[in-house]
């Protein structure tokens, strides 16, 4: 999803409206530096914020699931790029 959540979310909502069986998985990531527990909490808060924003534009809460990332951020990724939220469409 792009950094402009409003624009990207509108496209995601349109897709979900056209595909009633589709759902979203929202995962938060962090950079690998610093306190691991604090970073995990920040990642969770980022993901919760995106989930809330998606729900505010009219996406039903039961169609947006928070998911722990399957992979962790690797150390050689730029810290700013590592701090992100990914939204995946599931059909």
Residue 78: its pLDDT value, please?
Answer: 79
Distance CA 38, CA 27 (A): 16
Please, which residues bridge with residue 90 across strands? 23
Residue 28: its pLDDT value, please?
Answer: 93
CATH number at residue 37: 3.30.1330.60
What string of pLDDT tens digits covers the 91 residues of the chain? 445 777 888 899 999 999 999 999 999 998 888 888 998 899 999 999 999 999 999 999 999 999 988 776 666 677 778 888 999 999 8
Q: Provide the domain limits for residue 32.
A: 5-90
The whole model's pTM is what? Answer: 0.84
Domain count for the chain: 1
Residue 2: its pLDDT value, please?
Answer: 45
């Amino acid at each position: 999803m792009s950094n402009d959540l409003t624009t990207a979310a509108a496209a995601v909502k349109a897709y979900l409206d056209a595909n009633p069986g589709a759902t979203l998985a929202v995962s938060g990531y962090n950079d690998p530096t610093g306190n691991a527990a604090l970073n995990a909490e920040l990642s969770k808060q980022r993901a919760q914020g995106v989930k809330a924003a998606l729900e505010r534009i009219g996406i039903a809460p039961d169609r947006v699931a928070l998911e722990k990332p399957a992979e962790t951020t690797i150390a050689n990724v730029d810290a700013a790029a590592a701090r992100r939220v990914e939204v995946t469409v599931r059909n």
